[in-house]
Structure formats: structure tokens, C-alpha cells
Structure 1
Amino acid sequence: MGSASGGNSADTPRGRRPRSNRSLKDQHFNGQASWMSSNINLVNTIIGAGVLAMPLAMSHMGILLGIFVIIWSGLAAAFGLYLQSLCARYLERGNSSFFALSQITYPNAAVVFDAAIAIKCFGVGVSYLIIIGDLMPGVIRGFDEGADAVPFLVDRHFWITVFMLVVIPLSFLRRLDSLKYTSIVALVSIGYLVILIVYHFTKGDTMADRGPIRVVQWGSLIQVLQSFPVIVFAYTCHQNMFSILNEIRDNSHRSTSSVIAASIGSACCTYILVAITGYLSFGNNVLGNIVGMYQPSIASTIAKAAIVILVVFSYPLQVHPCRASVDAVLKWRPNGWKPIRTTSNDSPVRVAPLLPQTPVQQKSGSEIGEVRFAVITTVIIVLGYTAAMTVSSLDKVLAYVGSTGSTSISFILPGLFYYKISDPESIHHQRLAKEDDDESSADEEDGQGDHWNGSWRRAVLRKLALGLALYGIFVMVLCLGTNLFFTTAH
């Protein structure tokens, strides 16, 4: 694929013709996020409290199969992100979203896609609030043994309310890039958890409680099926990928691909490190939350506090895509978005989605009005707070939401979108293919062509995209079946 750069002057060396009219239009919108901040936000979206369940998953699968599944799931998630970056090239710079993409692929199903994303992100956000309520009483007891004498200090409702005062202002930030500093704090918390687990493994102070170790052999089929969704869903970050593509300063193909590789790669290495060291520390006796297995100490108490910090700063990363999807659902009208034909003096006639404003007028994609933005955000926060205060466990609900929402966002939608939009008969694909061919011709004139047949490459990618969508359907059926038939049996 040719570069999808933002049209900076550096992309058109002296004596060389402009890449394409689409790239020239991109000059009207310049992202502000750096490569590093984009990578940090994506990594923080990926790695959550679920990292603590990796040792248990490895105990069910054995070390070899566990490592393979972690790497495989990372590659599948990375390919879904890659397809999203390719799909974004069919949209105007700064307007990428699942909704905008569905308008030129499956317009009648757009509301279903965004509703699934909104429900998934909302459910994950509520689970974060529940984790805060569950952990904070233990954190307080760890620092003060007499905390039970003050009832509200060990009341989960009190701590959920307190931390809402932290997440509310963060949830009202418009740009994902604005959360880069809180994401850094969250990643420091993850780093502390990883160091704690590795430290206890190297110290060997858990050997007395360690059970048998499985290297090649795995547990029962039911255990493997139960652990597989945990690893698959641990890479879900696709709901924020379009925001990152909209905001990143350099949206060239190389830059966005490197963000995907760096974020998924670092998450994969973290998961493998925690899974192996945590599993070798406790063997088959390991539990779902490995931090809770260590002897009470200041270090383990700080680790619980680190989990709280992690989920607090991860909550706004779920509100951001949830708000965008809710807004898209509210804007959706049956047959209300129809393609229009646009022309320019130096480009062929093409089809474009009818947007509320022209791309030149928009500052960061389909901007939500101030009042609408405030109302939607407030409703999400209030409903989330109410759910967290009234429900103590959402495990079963999240299991179903994850089985449907995560698989749809990570595999099915990216695969179906790219398969549809890259159809050789699609006018969108014809336009982009022509631009790619023009860029390839320009590169060959400058001696920079890669001599890789673009048509053949696009055909292979299209087949792989369909394969990813089918894989997503398989994972969805497998995970739903596991939740329906195996969880209760276990």
C-alpha cells in the first residue's frame, strides 16, 4: 500500500509531483499527537487488570501452548488494527470512525455496529469502577490495621464515589492525546506490578506454596476453552484505533504500522513475562488475581493500589469511544446518509459520505457540539456510577459483552470493512488504487519503487481480511459456548 501521509511538505521532495489529491486535502487537517503519545495511549488501552489473570491462563494451557496462544492472539489483534489503518485511508483525514466507515460499506448496519461498541466500552468501564470498590478497602486495611473502626473507609461505595471525582474531569477531555500523561502513570503502575511478580519469582519465596508445573501438557479441554477468551480479549484496543489515526501528527503508513507493532509487541512481551514468572511461582495453585496470593506486606498493598490507579486512568479510555459510538447511534437515521458525488478540477468523480460539515471545516473529525458532548458524557458517567454502586459483580455480563463486543471490534468489523471497501468494483477502492499506482509510478521514476505488484498485494490482503472476519465469528461462537455450557460445569 502507498503511504497515507498527512501531506506535509517533506512528503513531496523538490522536483517530484504531489502524491495525490487526497493527500493534498489532508493538509487541511493536521493531527497534533506524537508517535510516542499514540503508542502510550494504545498500550494503556490494551494492558489492563486482565494481565493479572495471565498466570492462571498459562496453568490451564501449559507453558508452550500458553506462549503460542498469547503470540497468536497478539498477531490476530495486530492484523485487525492494521486493517483499520488501511480502511482509514478511504476516509478524509480526521474523520475516521467505525460509523463513518460503515456509511460507505454497510450503511444499514451502522447503528448495530456502534451500539455494540458502546455497550462493550460501557461494560468494561463499569467493571473498572467495581474493581476500585473491591480493592480499596483491602488497600486501606493494608496501610492501617485499625481501618475497620472507621466504617466508611472500608465501604466500597465510598471509594467508588471518591474516585469518580478523579475520572469525571478526565472523561470530559475531547482528545485522546490529552490522556497521555495519565496513561504514563497507568503504565508505571503496570511496571510496578510486573516488577513485583518477577521479584517474588527470582526471590523464590513462593516455592512452598507452588503446585505442579505443566510445560507441554495442558489441563482439561474445558479449562483451555475458559482461558482462551481471557487471552484473546486482553488485546482489545481497536475501539480507540481510529481516534489515534485521527490525532497522530504523522499518519503515514510506516508511522501507523510502527505504532501498532510497538504497542502490540510490548503488550505481548508483558503478558508472556507475567504469565511465565507468575505461573512458575505458584504452579497449578495459581489463582485468577496473582497479586492477592502474596503474603500481606507493604509491597503487595502498593500493588493493589497500583491496580486501582491503573483502572482509574483506563476508565476515560473507555468513555472516549463509548461517547463517539453513542453520538453516532443518536445521529443515525434510516436512509438518512446517502452518497453524494463530488468533483474537483484535478481529480476524477468519486463518491463520498455525506458528512455534517465538509472535511475542511472540521477540526477533528465529526466534532460533537459542546452541549451534546456534555450531555452524552454525563449520561455515560451517571449510568456507569449507578451500575457500579448497585451491582457487585459483572463477571457474567462482561463475559457475554466481551464475547460479542470484543470479537466484533477486534476481528469481525475490521475484516468485513476492508473486505467490502477493497472490492475491485468499489469506486472508493478504484480511487485509492489509482492513487497508489500514481505513487508507485512516482517512486519508480525516483528509483524508490518496491517492485511489489500492488494489485496482487491488495488481493491477498482482501482474502486475509475475510479470513480474520471468519476467525472472529469462530472465536465469538467458541467464547459464547464456553460461557453458556462450560463455566457453570466448572
Structure 2
Amino acid sequence: METSQESINAERGWYVSAQQPEEAEAEELSPLLSNELHRQGSSGVSFGFSVFNLMNAIMGSGILGLAYVMANTGILGFSFLLLIVALLASYSVHLLLSMCIQTAVTSYEDLGLFAFGLPGKVVVAGTIIIQNIGEKKSACREDNLCREAMSSYLFIIKTELPAAISEFLTGDYSGSWYLDGQTLLIVICVGIVFPLALLPKIGFLGYTSSLSFFFMVFFTLVIIIKKWSIPCPLTLNYLKECFQIPNVTDDCKPKLFHFSKESAYAIPTMAFSFLCHTSILPIYCELQSPSKKRMQNVTNTAIALSFLIYFISALFGYLTFYGKVESELLQGYNKYLPHDVVVMTVKLCILFAVLLTVPLIHFPARKALTMIFFSNFPFSWIRHSLITLALNVVIVLLAIYVPDIRNIFGVVGASTSTCLIFIFPGLFYLKLSREDFVSWKKLGAFILFFFGILIGNFSLALIIFDWINK
């Protein structure tokens, strides 16, 4: 039986007025939504901590691959594509917040409920769970750079952290527990990830998110400084000293635009560089003095700062290695500056930044499970702890024992990511908004929806192309 809009409203105890879109937009925060936000967020999280949490949700290990993307698109090509994606991400958040005001709901799942009934709620919740638990492979050239989910982050920790620690050791420490990836992963999950994920509110992670942000800033500063530590082109300079080979200056000229077969991977890579939409509404619920305008400012600030860090790190990484930039930026520094203490420290910082993102991604996944199975139950610490424990066990087991599942999650992840950042916001707005279809907002929602369909299909085609080649 199809669920009517009236029955949905009655079930949630909310009434959506039949006001005109202009009146809805003029209303900064409806009383019903205000009460709900204050009930969930109590005193609220500060503007700064909200920005840090959102930036932590946006930025991940994918930052290591952006210099490679710039090398295959050119400086201006990269800048244009990254700016377009940032603007689209900000606009999709604007649509989400507008729908929250109109429907007086505070979760992505309930927007699906209002738009398409119970099936819509289940689809959105399932999409969030798959996206945040599984491995999102956004058709990047090297899939290890494109994982933005809990199990994939832990897989990176398991494989990379022991090697990063061993670089600081001079003796033979083989067999030590802190050099065994599985043991180290379990200790970290029990001692760090689980306690942080157990926190009842996402706002409490503002401190760890600010630490993750400063790790990313430190990474960017090191990239800038090390640009003058590596002469260009390093390999040719070495050969010239030994064999008197003349220098090839073209290798040290930055390209404003560049197109090759590798350029095709740049679009989906950047399309998911600002994926944070599963965390938007949980952060909105706990924001101090919540309003649509204030949350949009949080989003715009987080996206702008992320854009700045993305662009600067990619630019100076590219200007360091030019056409020889590695698909994983730090590999180039390991090759040309081996045993450099600063580079080794940066690698540890990036790994800890990735680690501190896991609890933040955990919150939307746990909320989605709760919304599906326990939406009508009051909060319970026992249920909260059991769901948190179950999710942590699942992601640890995936990271340790099922690394090859990335091929399955790669296809699904490309679809779920596209849905969350482009398709769902556009589709829901087209369904829920009472504006004329020829209005600017609905036209923008349609463009967002259509762009998501194109990017999703393009990503899947590239993933399948990679499989065939391998």
C-alpha cells in the first residue's frame, strides 16, 4: 500500500504546512524544526567545531592523489573542475537544508520517507550504510587512493602504519606487535576508534576533527617547503652528472591544460572529493543556534577551506615532480628523499588523520541502522553500545579478512556516492518542492540530478574498463 503524505506526517507527529515556497524560504527555521534541533542538540556545538567535523568528513586519503590528477588535467583544467565540483556540492547541501525547512525533518533518511514513503527511507538508509561501511572506489586510477569508507580506511591503517613506524626504527624489530598490521589494527580499534565512536553526539568529535585538520595543514605546508628540496628534473640531473646528458627543460614547465587517457579519471575523482552529505544533517542537528543560513555558512566554510588545502597541496606537489608525479604523492618523496624525517612524520600524520575520520563516518552509519530498525524507540545506551560494537566488528573483519571485496564495493560505492551527493538531493527536491518546474531552484535540482546520473555511469564504465584491462 502506498504511504500517503498525510500518514507520514501523522506517524512522525509533524505537520507540513501548505505555505508557498517563497514563505518557506523566508522562514529561517520553523518552530517545529527548531524544537527538534534543540531537543537533539541541547546546548549545541560551536560554529568552529562544526566546520572541523565537516572538513574531517570531506577530506581523506584521496588528497594524496590530487597532484596526479593535476598532472593529467593541467593547472587551469584542474582548478576549473575542482571549483565546479565544490560549487555543486555546496548547492546540493543547500537543497538538503531547504527540504529540511519545508518538511521539518532532521535526517537524510526522513527526507527519503517524505519523498517516496517507507521504501525511500530504507533506500536512503541502506545507501548510507553501504557507503560508510564499504569501500568507495570512485573510478580513480589507483583504487587505494579513492577509498572513503570505514573498512577501507582501516585497511589503509593495517597496511601502511606498520611500514611508517618501521621507518623510524634503526634496529631489527621484526616480530614486534606494533609492526604486525592485524595486531596494530585491533589495538587501535579497541583503544581509539571504539571509544570515540561510542560517544552519543557527533559534536564531541570536534576536538579530534580539529586535530585531523591541523594534520592536513601540516601536510600541505611540508609539500610547499619540500618543493625547493627536490631539483627538477631530479632523475635527469643525476644522469647528467654521470653521463653528461643535457637537461630537458620541458619536463619542468607546468601545463595549464593537459589531456590524456588518464584525464578521464580526474572527473569522477574530483566528483567525490567533497562527499560529506551523510554527515551534514547530524552536524546540523547539534549546531549551536541552528538555522539554515548558519548551517549553510558552516558548509561553505568547510568546502572553501577543503578546496584551498586540496588546491595548494595538489599545485605544489605537481610543481615538485611535474610529469613524474606519482599517483600517491608521498611515494615520490620516499623515492627522492628517502629517510627524510619530515616526510616520515607527514606520513604518520596523514595516517592518524585517516584514523580520526573513522569515528566520524561511524555516526551516520549507526544512525541509518537505528532509523531502519529502532526509529520508534527511545535512546538506550545498551542498544547504542551494541550497534556501535557490531559496526566496529564488521569493519575490522572486512579490513583484515576481505580485502578483495573492494571490487564489489567499488561498483556499489560509485553508485552510492553519486546518489548521496548528486542524485538524491536533486530528486528529492524535485519531488518535494512546490515551486514551478521552470523555477531556478528546480532547474538547478534537475541539473544536479542529471549530472549525478552522468557521473555515476561514467564511474562505473571506468571501473569496468579497469577490470577488463587487468
The 1:45/1:25 distance shift into structure 2, 3 A limit, reads closer
How far is 1:174 from its partner? 1.6
Question: Pick from 424, 430, 436: which aligns with 1:413?
Answer: 424
Q: How many Å separate the matches in 1 of 2:172 and 2:212?
A: 26
TM-score of the superposed pair, with normalisation by structure 2: 0.81
What does residue 215 of structure 1 align with? 255
2:177 aligned partner, one-letter code: F
What does residue 196 of structure 2 align with? 170
What does residue 466 of structure 1 align with? 446
How far is 1:396 from its partner? 3.5
Asked if structure 1 preserves the Cα contact closer than 8 Å seen for 2:96 and 2:425, the reply is yes
Q: How many Å separate the matches in 2 of 1:411 and 1:420?
A: 15
Asked if structure 1 preserves the Cα contact closer than 8 Å seen for 2:233 and 2:252, the reply is no
Asked if structure 1 preserves the Cα contact closer than 8 Å seen for 2:130 and 2:413, the reply is no
Determine helix, strand or coil for the equivalent of 1:106: helix
Does structure 1 residue 391 correspond to structure 2 residue 402?
Answer: yes
1:231-259 deviations in Å (ceiling 9; x for gaps): 11111000000111111122223212211
What does residue 275 of structure 2 align with? 236
What does residue 57 of structure 1 align with? 69
How far is 1:228 from its partner? 1.8
Asked if structure 1 preserves the Cα contact closer than 8 Å seen for 2:75 and 2:315, the reply is yes
Determine helix, strand or coil for the equivalent of 2:159: helix
1:302-339 deviations in Å (ceiling 9; x for gaps): 111101210111001111001111222335xxxxxxxx
The 1:28/1:64 distance shift into structure 2, 3 A limit, reads closer
2:314 aligned partner, one-letter code: A
* Aligned pairs, number: 410
The 1:472/1:213 distance shift into structure 2, 3 A limit, reads farther
How far is 1:202 from its partner? 3.7
Asked if structure 1 preserves the Cα contact closer than 8 Å seen for 2:33 and 2:101, the reply is no
Determine helix, strand or coil for the equivalent of 2:469: coil
What does residue 43 of structure 1 align with? 55
The 1:145/1:102 distance shift into structure 2, 3 A limit, reads same
What does residue 90 of structure 2 align with? 78
Question: Pick from 193, 213, 218: which aligns with 1:192?
Answer: 218
1:140-185 deviations in Å (ceiling 9; x for gaps): 2211032443343322112211211211100111211010000011
Question: Pick from 325, 328, 350: which aligns with 1:289?
Answer: 328
What does residue 152 of structure 1 align with? 177
TM-score of the superposed pair, with normalisation by structure 1: 0.78
Does structure 1 residue 101 correspond to structure 2 residue 111?
Answer: yes
Q: What is the aligned-residue identity percentage?
A: 23
Comparing 379-388 with 393-402, greater Cα deviation is found at 393-402
Asked if structure 1 preserves the Cα contact closer than 8 Å seen for 2:37 and 2:290, the reply is no
How far is 1:46 from its partner? 0.5
What does residue 130 of structure 2 align with? 119
Structure 1 regions of 5+ residues with no counterpart?
6-19, 332-354, 358-366, 425-454
How far is 1:25 from its partner? 4.9
How far is 1:219 from its partner? 3.4
The 1:153/1:252 distance shift into structure 2, 3 A limit, reads closer
Q: How many Å separate the matches in 1 of 2:446 and 2:233?
A: 47
2:52 aligned partner, one-letter code: I
Q: How many Å separate the matches in 1 of 2:421 and 2:259?
A: 27
The 1:139/1:460 distance shift into structure 2, 3 A limit, reads same
The 1:195/1:152 distance shift into structure 2, 3 A limit, reads same
Asked if structure 2 preserves the Cα contact closer than 8 Å seen for 1:127 and 1:394, the reply is no
Asked if structure 2 preserves the Cα contact closer than 8 Å seen for 1:3 and 1:252, the reply is no
1:362-383 deviations in Å (ceiling 9; x for gaps): xxxxx64322222211111001
Asked if structure 1 preserves the Cα contact closer than 8 Å seen for 2:37 and 2:285, the reply is no
The 1:209/1:76 distance shift into structure 2, 3 A limit, reads farther
User: Counterparts in 2 of 1:414-453, with a 5 A limit?
Assistant: 414-424=425-435
Asked if structure 2 preserves the Cα contact closer than 8 Å seen for 1:186 and 1:310, the reply is yes
Question: Pick from 374, 386, 393: which aligns with 1:382?
Answer: 393
Asked if structure 1 preserves the Cα contact closer than 8 Å seen for 2:38 and 2:44, the reply is no
RMSD: 2.4
The 1:305/1:21 distance shift into structure 2, 3 A limit, reads closer
What does residue 312 of structure 2 align with? 273
Question: Pick from 156, 178, 202: which aligns with 1:131?
Answer: 156
Determine helix, strand or coil for the equivalent of 1:149: coil
The 1:24/1:152 distance shift into structure 2, 3 A limit, reads closer
Q: How many Å separate the matches in 1 of 2:361 and 2:37?
A: 30
Determine helix, strand or coil for the equivalent of 1:104: helix
The 1:394/1:68 distance shift into structure 2, 3 A limit, reads farther
Does structure 1 residue 307 correspond to structure 2 residue 360?
Answer: no
1:77-112 deviations in Å (ceiling 9; x for gaps): 1111111111111344xx511211122111122212
The 1:110/1:277 distance shift into structure 2, 3 A limit, reads same
The 1:227/1:212 distance shift into structure 2, 3 A limit, reads farther
Determine helix, strand or coil for the equivalent of 2:167: helix
User: Counterparts in 2 of 1:283-362, with a 5 A limit?
Assistant: 283-294=322-333, 295=337, 296-331=339-374, 356=376
Q: How many Å separate the matches in 2 of 1:459 and 1:320?
A: 35
Asked if structure 1 preserves the Cα contact closer than 8 Å seen for 2:154 and 2:396, the reply is yes
What does residue 335 of structure 1 align with? none
Q: How many Å separate the matches in 2 of 1:214 and 1:371?
A: 57
The 1:202/1:190 distance shift into structure 2, 3 A limit, reads same
The 1:138/1:167 distance shift into structure 2, 3 A limit, reads same
Q: How many Å separate the matches in 2 of 1:23 and 1:326?
A: 22
1:332-351 deviations in Å (ceiling 9; x for gaps): xxxxxxxxxxxxxxxxxxxx
What does residue 456 of structure 2 align with? 476
What does residue 33 of structure 1 align with? 45
Asked if structure 2 preserves the Cα contact closer than 8 Å seen for 1:129 and 1:160, the reply is yes
Asked if structure 2 preserves the Cα contact closer than 8 Å seen for 1:132 and 1:160, the reply is yes
1:101 aligned partner, one-letter code: L
Determine helix, strand or coil for the equivalent of 2:45: coil
How far is 1:421 from its partner? 1.1
Asked if structure 1 preserves the Cα contact closer than 8 Å seen for 2:268 and 2:459, the reply is yes
Q: How many Å separate the matches in 1 of 2:37 and 2:283?
A: 17
